[in-house]
């Protein structure tokens, strides 16, 4: 599932969005002036993407 929100709302809801990423696997697209600016994704998803791209991972 993907949720979109502006930067201001993302700041207000950061803790909730981090929990949603970790526990529900949700991705949050953060927009600035209606344009996608950044994405908050579950760490495990990001690791998989790095491995598939042959980029390796950062050790936690």
N-to-C CA span, the chain: 25
- Domain assignment present for 20: yes
- Do residues 17 and 30 make contact, with C-beta atoms less than 8 angstroms apart? no
Structural domain of 25: 2-52
Please state the domain count of the chain.
Answer: 1
Residues 28, 46: Cα–Cα separation, whole Å: 13
The reported pLDDT for the residue numbered 56 is: 64
- Domain assignment present for 30: yes
The reported pLDDT for the residue numbered 43 is: 95
Each residue of 1-59: pLDDT tens digit? 789 999 999 999 999 999 999 999 999 999 999 999 999 999 999 999 988 888 766 65
- Domain assignment present for 44: yes
The reported pLDDT for the residue numbered 50 is: 87
The reported pLDDT for the residue numbered 59 is: 56
Per-residue tokens: 52: 């598939």
Distances in Å between the alpha carbon of 49 and those of 7, 11, 12, 57?
Answer: 25, 26, 28, 9
- Domain assignment present for 59: no
The reported pLDDT for the residue numbered 23 is: 97
Residues 3, 27: Cα–Cα separation, whole Å: 6
Indicate yes or no: pTM above 0.75: yes
- Domain assignment present for 32: yes
């Amino acid at each position: 599932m993907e949720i979109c929100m502006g930067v201001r709302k993302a700041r207000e809801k950061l803790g909730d969005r981090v929990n949603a990423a970790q526990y529900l696997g949700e991705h949050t697209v953060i927009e600035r002036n209606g344009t996608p600016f950044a994405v908050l994704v579950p760490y495990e998803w990001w690791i998989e993407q790095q491995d598939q791209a042959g980029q390796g991972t950062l050790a936690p």
